[in-house]
Structures are given as structure tokens and as C-alpha cells.
Amino acid sequence: MKVPSFGTSLIRSLAMLGLFLVVTACMEEKRPQIVYPETDLSASPFMPIPDEVVPTGDAFGIDRHTGIYAPAADGELLEIADYLADRLQSRTGLRLPVNGSAENDIHRAIYLNTDTEKGPEDYDMYITRDSLLINAGSAAGAFMAVQTLRQILPETANDTLAEFPIWAVPTGKITDAPEFAYRGSMLDVARHFFSVEDVKKYIDIMAYYKMNVLHLGLTNDQGWRIEIKSWPLLAEVGGSTEVGGGPGGYYTQEEYKDIVAYAAEQFITIVPEVDMPGHTNAASVAYPFLNGNGKTPELYTGTRVGFSTWDARKDTVYSFIDDVVREISAITPGPYFHVGGDETHVTSQSDYIYFMERVEPIVRKYGKQMVGWDEMAIAKLDSSSIAQFWASEENAQKAVAQGMKVILSPAKKAYLDMQYDSLSPLGLHWAGYIPVDTAYQWNPVSYTAGLDRDDILGVEAPLWSETISELSELEFLAFPRLSGYAELAWSKEENRDWESYRLRLAAQAPYFRRMEINYYKSPLIPWPEMELPEPAIKD
């Protein structure tokens, strides 16, 4: 049990809230008391499940008399207040004023405040009849709290309580904090290209589930998807096709910056991956000197892996890598640069080690921490580097022995491109079938022998795109499993439970429908019967 700490900012916010309540209480007597039906906050469709929820049975009404308040001097919190107003408007049609005054006739307030004694993403929410108070460790925590508020908002308004609709939010107290700092997913935009709009929709949904890292697989044998100004043919030639021979595509640097900024507004960090020295056929088609074998390769539209490499012993290859890392790092505010390093079946082990040990200082020179797939740990690397465990427990242990942290993406549990079962239409099954329960029922802390809790940075669910070329197909593989990975990364082990999860997952169906997500209707989940094909409102 955590003892609540009352920092000075909390006292300030309570004082301001008190003032607000005194002012509104003067008008209160004239108003009829609303009698709400009994509520149960703990029965709300939380996803992920918070640390602690204590229901008190009453309701906080969101209606035309509800306002949002944030400290006027805190620009970041004011932005979140506006974001909350936007989200509530699209669900309810009401535009709640932010820091409204007397003419707004406000009877009840949602109050955002920071309490710097908390961890940055931690928050508490105190919901009573008259106020909904959010205290968060930083703007990021307030953003997380807003996601919770979106989830506890009832699906429909109650229009029998007053002559106008009221959305009755259940009262109680929520205390919450993330288990892991890194809660991610990956999109492979190289095997098949996905548009900026597609990526933005994925970001919106990740944010709703409190995920905070989107790793973009920007390059592979079949395509190079990011403009590099000093090497223009990478995108122009290397980006000109994809698996199956479609037209491919790439992001200009402006488009990439747009994705980065869109993600940042929702507290999501973009991790760019340029996979090397293998998975590099597309780059070597554009610049054949890179592969060092004197041959100009052809564009590749199949799905084999492990057939390409760059020449690890050529200095010009490292000058080229320096340019690529410099350009991408300059437009990537997050702390990470992913260098791939997986499945280098045609690179000798000594060349591979030499290569990784030369690339790492380049990444650090541009102010980034190097991330790589677990194979990378066979090289001697700086302890600031991060290994992404997908296949080899031994490599994860080697990383930890070097003081590196590990991101958990075990293919048997966390690969979004694995089929749900042998009959499901999209995906692969080399790591097994991953039905919705298998995806959820594992413990990141104890999954890998030799790793302690502190060695684990977080959890990431990668979505490889060999078998998917459209957003609706991408969604079919990602949903509903992504919600489970979000819960594995956010929620404490003692609060996770399959029976509770499957009911809360079923309760995501209205959100999935509003977002027009093409999710897999797993028979393990008691989905509600729903008609209404055309959603009238968006989340």
C-alpha cells in the first residue's frame, strides 16, 4: 500500500479546488440534487488495469455545466486540458470550457495538476460528485490519466436525470503507475509500406492503451522507407517496391518529422530502425559499393531473410552509415537509434562483431543509445546499448552481463505477425500460433532466465509485414492482442488475471467500433452483440 504524499503542488491544487467549490457552492442551493443510479468504478473497462481502484458508488456528471481546469502557468497541462476537451467533445458532442469563468455556469470541475513527488507517468484520480481531480507526476502522467478517464466515461448519456444529457462517471479513487518505462510496438513499414495516415491511426490507439514507444522498421531487403538527403537513391530506388512487387514508397524527412511530432503530442517516442549489416538488399541496389562483392543486386520482392550484407571491412561503408545515422538522429528527438543486427547469415561472425563495435560509437556520437536485436550482444558494447530479445535467451544474458538493458519481444509470445491459429488467414507461424490467451498469459519479469526485474527496460510487440499490405490487415493482426501487451507492460503482475482481462477486452468492442478497427473476433472473448455498422462518433 502506498502512503499518499501531499507535496506542495498538491496542497496548492487542493486549495484552488476548495476555492472553486466554495464559489460554486454559493450557487449550489438553487440547483436540484441529481440522484444517480448506483455505480461501480471497479467494473469499468480499464485497459490496462490500474494499480488500485476504490469505488464509492456515486457519480460525477459530465454535462453542459462541467469545466476543465489546469494551472494557468503550466503550458503542458493546458495542452492536455485542451486534448481532453477534444476527446470529450468527439464522444459527447459537448465542448467543455478550459479554465472557464462565471459566465460558463460551471457546477463541476475536472482539475489537472502535477505533483512532482510522483514518478513522471504516475497519477491519482479522485472522483467525487462535484470534482474529478487528477494529480500526476508530470504532463505525461496527466496524459495517462486522461486515457483512464476516456475509458471510464459511460458509452451513453443518461437523459432522464435532467432536461439535458449527463454522462455519469463512476466515483472513487484510482491510484496508478506503470510497471515498465518502455511500452512499445513495432511496425515493419519496409516489407510493405504503410502511409503516414495509417501510422497515425496506430499511434492514436497505442496512446489509448498507455503505450509510449513506436519502433519503426524503416529499412529491409525489400525496401528503404526514409529519405536520406546525402544518399538520395536509397529512398528513390530502394523504396520503389515492396513484398509482392507493389509500388512501395517512403517517408520524406518532412513526413517522418510529422509522424514524430504527432507521436510526441501523445507522449509516444519514435524509435527509428535502420537494419544492418544484413537485411540491406534495398540499400545495396541503390548503392552497390555497400555490399562489397562487386555485384549490383536486383530489387527483391520475396520474403526470404538472411541473404544480404554490407561489407564490414570497408571504411566507406562506415562513412555512409555515419551520414544515415546523422540525418535520422537530427530529426529524431527520442533517445534511441535501432541498428537491427538480426539474421546476418552471410556475414562472418568476426565481421559482424567488428561491424557492431564500429557502428556503436557512431550512434553515440549523434547522441543516441544504440538498440539492436539480441544477436548484437555477442559484440562488446557500451552498457548504454539496449538488446531487444526476440529469439535467444543466451544473447539476452550476454547483454545483461555487459550491463545492458533488455527489451522483451519474445517471438513465441509477443510477435503480432504470428497467426492466431492454424486457420486464421494472415500472418506466419514459425514461432508458433499465438491466440489471445497465449499472448497475454506470461510474465515479462520471469520469462527469461538470468534476467532480473531491473535488467528489463520494457516490453515491445513487433508487427512484421510480410503477409499484410493494407491497414485493415495490419489491424486484424494487431487487435485485440495489442491491448494485452499494453497491460503486460503497464500493470503489476498481481493485478493481471486472464478472467478479468477477457471481460475487459470484450468491453473494448465499442471503442474498436468507434475507431473502425478491423479486429479479430477471437472465440476466447465474450464479445458483445453489436449492430450499428456506421459509427456516429469517433474517439
Known catalytic residues? 343
SS (H, E, C) 464-505: CCCCCCCHHHHHHHHCCHHHHHHHHHHCCHHHCCHHHHHHHH
Look up residue 437 and give its three cell numbers: 490467451
d(CA 133, CA 68) in angstroms, rounded, equals 10
Q: What angle do CA 62, 67, 72 make, to 5 degrees?
A: 150
Classify residue 380 as left (phi > 0), alpha (psi -120 to 50) or beta: beta
Tell which one of 126, 415, 476, 485 touches ligand TNX (CB under 6 A).
Answer: 415
Give yes or no for residue 121 binding ligand TNX (CB under 6 A).
no
Give yes or no for residue 343 binding ligand TNX (CB under 6 A).
yes
Look up residue 341 and give its three cell numbers: 543486427
Minimum CB distance to ligand TNX smaller for 266 or for 388: 388
Minimum CB distance to ligand TNX smaller for 209 or for 389: 389
Give yes or no for residue 221 binding ligand TNX (CB under 6 A).
no
In the complex, the smallest distance separating the C-beta of residue 414 from ligand TNX, rounded to whole angstroms, is 10
Minimum CB distance to ligand TNX smaller for 190 or for 363: 190
In the complex, the smallest distance separating the C-beta of residue 305 from ligand TNX, rounded to whole angstroms, is 5
Query: Which residue's entry shows cell 531487444?
Result: 388
Give yes or no for residue 390 binding ligand TNX (CB under 6 A).
yes
In the complex, the smallest distance separating the C-beta of residue 475 from ligand TNX, rounded to whole angstroms, is 18
Look up residue 218 and give its three cell numbers: 524503416
* Ranges within 434-493 binding ligand TNX (CB under 6 A): 464, 466
Minimum CB distance to ligand TNX smaller for 415 or for 420: 415
Q: Facing residues of 134 across strands? A: 112, 125
Query: Which residue's entry shows cell 437523459?
Result: 159
Q: What angle do CA 91, 93, 95 make, to 5 degrees?
A: 105
Q: What angle do CA 91, 95, 99 make, to 5 degrees?
A: 130
DSSP 141-186: HHHHHHHHHHHHS-SS-B-SSSSS-BEEEEEEEEEE--S-SEEEEE
In the complex, the smallest distance separating the C-beta of residue 369 from ligand TNX, rounded to whole angstroms, is 18
Number of Cβ atoms within 10 Å of the Cβ of 1: 5
Q: Are 320 and 287 in contact (CB under 8 A)?
A: yes
Which one-letter DSSP state was computed for residue 529?
P
Look up residue 1 and give its three cell numbers: 500500500
Number of Cβ atoms within 10 Å of the Cβ of 101: 9
In the complex, the smallest distance separating the C-beta of residue 373 from ligand TNX, rounded to whole angstroms, is 4
3-state SS class at 358? helix
Alpha helices by DSSP H, listed for 93-166, are 139-152
Q: Are 220 and 188 in contact (CB under 8 A)?
A: yes
Give yes or no for residue 417 binding ligand TNX (CB under 6 A).
yes
Q: Facing residues of 337 across strands? A: 370
In the complex, the smallest distance separating the C-beta of residue 293 from ligand TNX, rounded to whole angstroms, is 21
Tell which one of 373, 447, 479, 519 touches ligand TNX (CB under 6 A).
Answer: 373
3-state SS class at 355? helix
Tell which one of 122, 342, 351, 460 touches ligand TNX (CB under 6 A).
Answer: 342
The residue count of the chain comes to 539
d(CA 502, CA 14) in angstroms, rounded, equals 37
In the complex, the smallest distance separating the C-beta of residue 279 from ligand TNX, rounded to whole angstroms, is 6
* Ranges within 66-95 binding ligand TNX (CB under 6 A): none
In angstroms, the Cα distances linking 474 to 169, 187, 418, 478 are 33, 9, 12, 6
Which one-letter DSSP state was computed for residue 294?
S
Minimum CB distance to ligand TNX smaller for 20 or for 182: 182
Give yes or no for residue 305 binding ligand TNX (CB under 6 A).
yes
In the complex, the smallest distance separating the C-beta of residue 303 from ligand TNX, rounded to whole angstroms, is 8
Number of residues that bind ligand TNX (CB under 6 A): 10
In the complex, the smallest distance separating the C-beta of residue 454 from ligand TNX, rounded to whole angstroms, is 24
Residues in contact with ligand TNX by CB under 6 A are: 305, 342-343, 373, 390, 415, 417, 428, 464, 466
